[in-house]
Amino acid sequence: MAKGKGKSKGITEAKIKAFEEKRDVLLGMGGEKMIKKQHDLGKLTARERLDIFFDKGTFQEVQLFVKHRSTLFGLDKKEIKADGVVTGFGKVNGRTIFCAAQDFTSAGGSLGEMHSKKIWKVMDMALDARKPFVALNDSGGARIQEGVPSLDGYGGIFYRNTIGSGYIPQITAIMGPTAGGAVYSPALTDWVFMVKESSYMYITGPDVIKAVIGEEVTHDELGGAIAHATKSGVCHFATENDEDCINKIKTLLSYLPDSCHSPLPVAECTDSPDRECPELDQIIPDRATRGYDMRKVVAAVADNNEIFEPHALWAPNIVVAFIRIMGKPVGVIANNPGSGAGVLDCNASDKASRFIRFCDAFNIPILTFADVPGYMPGTQQEWAGIISHGAKLLHVYSEATVPKITVVTRKDYGGAYIGMCSKYLGADYVMAWPSAEIAVMGAEGACNIIYRREIAAAEDPAAKRAELVGSYEEQFNNPYFAASMGIIEEVIAPRETRKRVATLLEVLKDKSEVRPPRKHNNIPL
């Protein structure tokens, strides 16, 4: 065979240089002027956010060279770097995460046909790889010049959000404007973070609201982080700035598995399963009408007293939180007597139900602390649908197949007793403190019904009522009647709570339940 006349030179230097120049232009995003404007607003750029989020040197960008193909309204003459969104994957604390970060410096991060297809690609990759997906939203909304294809882009994102629901964890951070159709993807994901003062989300903005109904409102009042964290409950975490937001996302991810088929992440534990919590022996007030902070109970039981609380500002009468017991994630639901006596209302029921369903979807055990006087009475709650909202709580506890442990600390009355994961709603193990009061209702209300004739006929009705109330309390307002019926498994000293919970979680770790086959259930939405 004849030998060649010369050696192959491979790719020429000129082609490599041209590639590097094209790449560097795209990495420059919207240019120095737009980047400065982003910084002046107190916001980081998309690439700066990704640099903080991913472990150094691990981010692999996907489809950097994609660009729009629209020729309408002068777009054929306009270059939008990376089409306004940076997509890819990398390691976050050593674990693979997929991400899409909208770039506000490039055409306001507006979503068009190719922009959305870049997001579809990494979402599809996340689903195939069974890894979490994180969206960092900072966008002026749909790219109006592209017309319907931009709306179809949102549709494809919503579809993937729904297909991935309960399969992989999905997290959205609102780090700038998010309006119109763009708000529905965050609402379809599991967790929503917002940045105070620099982010907002709403269906229709202040100008449209003023024009249509004459109401004047600012962007922040209408859809800012605090508005959604306190009033609507759409926002789970209101953060101080971009860096705080990203760091809190990383903390949340440390509690979550890669997918519903993956094992839970286990952190190194320096706490002891036998640690007692003597402070809990003193936490219940002497008077039943006095409140206390249930977060202190949750923290006492957790490894190293650490809790991570979503929805801290919404429906504060109930607490939901992630903790670890011997390094393993646990989801906690707890009435908070320090706010509204820990009563269950529409918002509290929704807050707890959503959290329980998330934990069950991703195989996170559920620990419930009950101190609840009942469901909130009144026309406002009835007309707001407390019946259907309260039914959600019954549904999700019954539906959940993960280990479920309940601790009754004080009041546990009526329908709310059932709603807070009672034994016959599916709890695997129910414990009560000596201070527990498990009954249909409070002693005074019960006596006013049961003994109304005796009280009315008494020479001194007030004294007779006090006597009967005392008798009722002695018989029913304690855990021993329920324990004698096997409705609770045991009465424990409060200081023993962590030890008992740690033991039970170990015992129940291989729990398995099989439910009747069906397409899906029909939760009372």
Q: What are phi and psi of 44, to 5 degrees?
A: -85, 160
Bridge partners (DSSP) listed for residue 405: 367, 429
How far apart CA 314 and CA 312 sit, in angstroms, is 6
Tokens of 441: 């209702």
415 is catalytic: yes
> Residues in the chain, how many?
525
Among residues 100, 416, 427, 443, the one annotated as catalytic is: 416
Side-chain-side CA neighbours of 473 within 13 Å: the count stands at 14
Residues 6+ positions from 478 with CB-CB distance below 8 Å: 434, 436, 437
Among residues 28, 205, 233, 415, the one annotated as catalytic is: 415
378 is catalytic: no
Among residues 180, 340, 342, 442, the one annotated as catalytic is: 180
Bridge partners (DSSP) listed for residue 323: 330
Cα–Cα nearest to 421, from 365, 483, 485, 502: 365
Among residues 30, 108, 176, 181, the one annotated as catalytic is: 181
288 is catalytic: no
Cα–Cα nearest to 506, from 428, 407, 423: 428
Cα–Cα nearest to 210, from 201, 218, 198, 202: 218
112 is catalytic: no
Bridge partners (DSSP) listed for residue 411: 437
Q: Which amino acid is at 265?
A: P
Region of 452 on the Ramachandran plot (φ > 0 left; ψ -120 to 50 alpha; else beta): alpha
What residue has token string 């989020």? 53
Give the catalytic positions in this structure: 180-181, 415-416
